[in-house]
């Protein structure tokens, strides 16, 4: 393989396969090499020392009160805590991917416990077999409430789940007909969730046992057989390949790259094996792909906290909501739109406010706050951009920040105020919004 393995490549991988990393993690990746780094990420093994996560019932909120498992805000904080502190960042990144892919929101489910239960399902199957995950999500209580599965009965089928399982979860628009939706809905009839008993069950009296024709295949189909037929479709691997490439690599992958990944999805037993091949490929490290994706609020907030090794607070999860990404509450069945939608004026303002709050939390009294060549303003910019996980700055950004350092750090005795300003400006720079 022809790709060099330096800090730049390691940071690129950590930004895409996780939420960035502190300097110690980046240095560990460089020392481990690409193959071992990727192996550990896929295996869920620590890149440095393993840090045990504090259990939910032992973690305190800002007021030192114990977190309440029934409070959505406390569960949002705890998931963010996991993103920031997990020794298996790719597991959390994929849990977030599946949350957006199988988008389910508490504003309809109205049961935080079920939302967390679904979150654990995504974590369990994060890098596992995709078909097994699709089968499991169809019997997940939060999903069943979200897509009205209880209303799907013999002689009165509800098409919500049948439609979304093909349109959003597996095949994509244009790969099925309205008749396929109706037939799939009939096949899925009979499954119920009893919230009082917290029990998922199959009622054979409410299942349509008559013959159905789905995507060209005929039989007295049930739900599992419907999923089998859907997984026979060639469009499934292409659909998932494009979503994975959009999430991890580029907004506009070539058709040949999509087909390469689609072939891997067909050949490999797990998503982890597919991602191993992606993260080991030279194409993934193409310099043109660096800083080419806009960070989600989760990337931005968790990445800054992880890189700077700061404690997670309730306000950080609230900041994510203000930036447009509220955990456990995607906007609709299609999930978050992503891309440039993250950077409208109001959402950018929330990022700027978060950056300001972070800049005030950093300890600037350490001996290593200044670069070795402290008389050169660009060295200050390089040092702090590296610490913040920003691997490259445009000439325009470098010039502007160097001028700021010249005015507020080099020629003043009160350097801490200037340093806070430099960190804030770096965190709101165009490059800091990208991964």
b/e sequence 383-419, b meaning 16+ C-beta within 10 Å? bbbebbbbbebeeebbeebbebbeebbeeeeebeebb
Give residues with Cβ within 8 angstroms of 235, minimum separation 6: 171, 172, 175
What is the Cα–Cα distance from 14 to 239, expressed in whole angstroms?
A: 25
Q: Measured between alpha carbons, how far is 112 from 73 in angstroms, rounded to an integer? A: 10
Cα four-point dihedral sign 151, 156, 162, 163: negative
Q: What pLDDT is attached to residue 45?
A: 97
CB 233 within 8 A of CB 216: no
pTM above the 0.85 mark? yes
DSSP-assigned letter for residue 294: B
Ranges of residues in the chain whose predicted pLDDT is under 70: 1, 63, 366-367
Contact 307, 387 (CB under 8 A): yes
Q: What is the pLDDT of residue 64?
A: 77
Alpha helices in 102-233 (DSSP H): 106-109, 112-124, 130-137, 141-146, 160-167, 178-188, 223-230
Query: What DSSP character marks residue 41?
Result: H
Alpha-carbon span 6 to 140, nearest angstrom: 43
State residue 400 phi and psi, 5-degree precision.
-65, -45
pLDDT at 61: 80
pLDDT at 345: 95
Q: Who's near 432: CB < 8 A, 6+ residues apart?
A: 300, 355, 388, 390, 426
The residue count for the chain: 435
The tens digit of pLDDT for each residue in 290-341 reads: 999 999 999 999 999 999 999 999 999 999 999 999 999 999 999 999 999 9
pLDDT at 367: 59
Give the separation between CA 160 and CA 147, rounded to whole angstroms.
6
pLDDT attached to residue 368: 77
Give the HSE-up count for residue 327: Cα atoms under 13 Å, Cβ half-sphere.
Answer: 34
Token pair 């590296």: residue? 386
Contact 83, 302 (CB under 8 A): yes
**Which of 243, 432, 246 lies closest to 343 in space, CA to CA?**
432
- Torsion 145-149-152-153 (CA) sign: negative
Q: How far apart are CA 196 and CA 140, in angstroms?
A: 15
What is the predicted pLDDT for the residue at 366? 67
């Amino acid at each position: 393989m022809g790709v060099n393995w330096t800090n730049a490549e390691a940071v690129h991988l950590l930004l895409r396969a996780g939420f960035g990393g502190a300097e110690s993690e980046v240095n560990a990746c460089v020392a481990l090499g690409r193959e071992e780094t990727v192996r550990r990420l896929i295996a869920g093994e620590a890149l440095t020392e393993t840090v045990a996560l504090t259990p939910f019932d032992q973690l305190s909120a800002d007021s030192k009160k114990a977190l309440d498992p029934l409070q959505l805000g406390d569960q949002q904080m705890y998931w963010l805590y996991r993103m920031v502190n997990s020794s298996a960042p790719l597991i959390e990144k994929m849990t977030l991917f599946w949350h957006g892919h199988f988008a389910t929101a508490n504003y309809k489910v109205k049961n935080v416990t079920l939302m967390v239960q679904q979150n654990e399902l995504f974590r369990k199957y994060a890098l596992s077999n995709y078909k097994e995950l699709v089968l499991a999500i169809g019997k997940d209580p939060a999903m069943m409430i979200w897509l009205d599965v209880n209303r799907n009965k013999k002689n009165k089928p509800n098409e919500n789940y049948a439609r979304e399982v093909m349109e959003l979860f597996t095949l994509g628009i244009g790969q099925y007909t309205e008749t396929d939706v109706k037939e799939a809905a009939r096949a899925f009839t009979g499954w119920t969730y009893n919230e009082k008993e917290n029990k998922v069950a199959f009622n054979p009296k409410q299942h349509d046992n008559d013959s159905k024709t789905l995507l060209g295949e005929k039989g007295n189909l049930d739900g599992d057989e419907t999923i089998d037929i859907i997984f026979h479709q060639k469009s499934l691997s292409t659909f998932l390949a494009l979503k994975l490439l959009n999430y991890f690599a580029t907004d506009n992958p070539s058709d040949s790259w999509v087909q390469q990944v689609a072939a891997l999805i067909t050949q490999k037993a797990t998503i982890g094996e597919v991602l191993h091949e992606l993260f080991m490929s030279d194409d993934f490290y193409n310099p043109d792909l660096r800083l080419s994706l806009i960070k989600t609020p989760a990337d931005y907030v968790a990445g800054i906290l992880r890189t700077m090794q700061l404690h997670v607070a309730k306000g950080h999860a609230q900041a994510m909501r203000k930036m447009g990404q509220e955990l456990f509450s995607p906007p609709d069945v299609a999930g978050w739109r992503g891309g440039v939608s993250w950077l409208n004026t109001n959402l950018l303002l929330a990022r700027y406010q978060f950056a300001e709050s972070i800049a005030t939390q950093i300890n600037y009294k350490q001996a290593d706050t200044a670069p070795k060549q402290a008389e050169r303003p660009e060295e200050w910019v390089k040092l702090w951009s590296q610490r913040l996980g920003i691997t490259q700055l445009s000439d325009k950004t470098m010039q502007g920040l160097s001028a700021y350092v010249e005015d507020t750090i080099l020629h003043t005795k009160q350097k801490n105020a200037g340093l806070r300003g430099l960190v804030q400006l770096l965190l709101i720079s165009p490059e800091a919004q990208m991964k």
